[in-house]
Amino acid sequence: MIRDLTAVLGSAHRAVLFRYLVALFAYAVAQGLSVALLVPVLSDLLTGDTGGAARWTGWLAGAVLVTLGLHYVQAMLGFKVALVILTTLHHRLGDHVAALPLGWFDGTTVGRLTRMGAKSVLSIAGSCAHLLQPLVTGVLTPATVVVVMLFLDWRLGLATLVCSPLILFAARLSVRLLNRMDELNDAAGVEASGRVLEFARNQPVLRAFGRTTDGYAPLEAALEEQRAASRQQVWMSVPGMLLGGFAVQVCFSALIGVGASLALDGAVDPVELVALLALVARFAGPLAEVGDFAAVVRAARNDMGRVRAVLEEPPLPEPERSAPVTVPGAVEADGVRFGYPGRGDRSGDVVLEDVSFTVAPRTVTALVGASGSGKTTLTRLIARFFDVDAGTVRVGGVDVRDQSTAALMEQLSLVFQDVYLFDDTLIGNIRVGRPDADEEEVLEAARLAGVDEIVARLPEGWETRVGEAGTSLSGGERQRVSIARALLKGAPIVLLDEATAALDPENEAYVQRSMDALRATSTLLVIAHRLSTVTGADQIVVLDEGRVAERGTHQELMALDGRYARFWNERHRALGWRIATGTRSGSGTDSGSSSATGSGTS
Binding site for ligand ATP (CB under 6 A): 106, 340, 351, 369, 371-377, 602
User: Which residue number, 109 or 404, has a Cβ lying nearer to ligand ATP?
Assistant: 109
User: Which residue number, 93 or 351, has a Cβ lying nearer to ligand ATP?
Assistant: 351
Helix (H, G, I), strand (E, B) or coil at 265: coil
In the complex, least distance from residue 377 CB atom to ligand ATP, rounded to whole angstroms: 3
User: Which residue number, 165 or 348, has a Cβ lying nearer to ligand ATP?
Assistant: 348
Residue 283: which of 140, 133, 74 has the closest Cα? 140
Task: Collect all residues with Cβ–Cβ distance below 8 Å to 435 and sequence separation of at least 6.
Answer: none
234 Cα distance to chain centroid: 34
One-letter amino acid at 352 equals L
Instruction: Tell me 216's DSSP state.
Output: -
User: Which residue number, 373 or 411, has a Cβ lying nearer to ligand ATP?
Assistant: 373
In the complex, least distance from residue 534 CB atom to ligand ATP, rounded to whole angstroms: 14
DSSP 145-199: HHHHHHHH-HHHHHHHHHHHHHHHHHHHHHHHHHHHHHHHHHHHHHHHHHHHHHH
In the complex, least distance from residue 109 CB atom to ligand ATP, rounded to whole angstroms: 10
Contact by Cβ (8 Å): 497, 416: yes
Whole-angstrom Cα distance, residue 224 to residue 525?
53
Task: Collect all residues with Cβ–Cβ distance below 8 Å to 109 and sequence separation of at least 6.
Answer: none
Phi and psi at residue 96, to the nearest 5°: -70, -45
User: Which residue number, 350 or 427, has a Cβ lying nearer to ligand ATP?
Assistant: 350
Whole-angstrom Cα distance, residue 181 to residue 229?
8
In the complex, least distance from residue 369 CB atom to ligand ATP, rounded to whole angstroms: 6
User: Which residue number, 88 or 373, has a Cβ lying nearer to ligand ATP?
Assistant: 373
Contact by Cβ (8 Å): 9, 20: no
Contact by Cβ (8 Å): 469, 421: yes
User: Which residue number, 21 or 367, has a Cβ lying nearer to ligand ATP?
Assistant: 367
In the complex, least distance from residue 389 CB atom to ligand ATP, rounded to whole angstroms: 13
In the complex, least distance from residue 105 CB atom to ligand ATP, rounded to whole angstroms: 10
In the complex, least distance from residue 545 CB atom to ligand ATP, rounded to whole angstroms: 9
In the complex, least distance from residue 375 CB atom to ligand ATP, rounded to whole angstroms: 4
Which residues, in sequence order, are bridge partners of residue 552?
540
User: Which residue number, 8 or 97, has a Cβ lying nearer to ligand ATP?
Assistant: 97
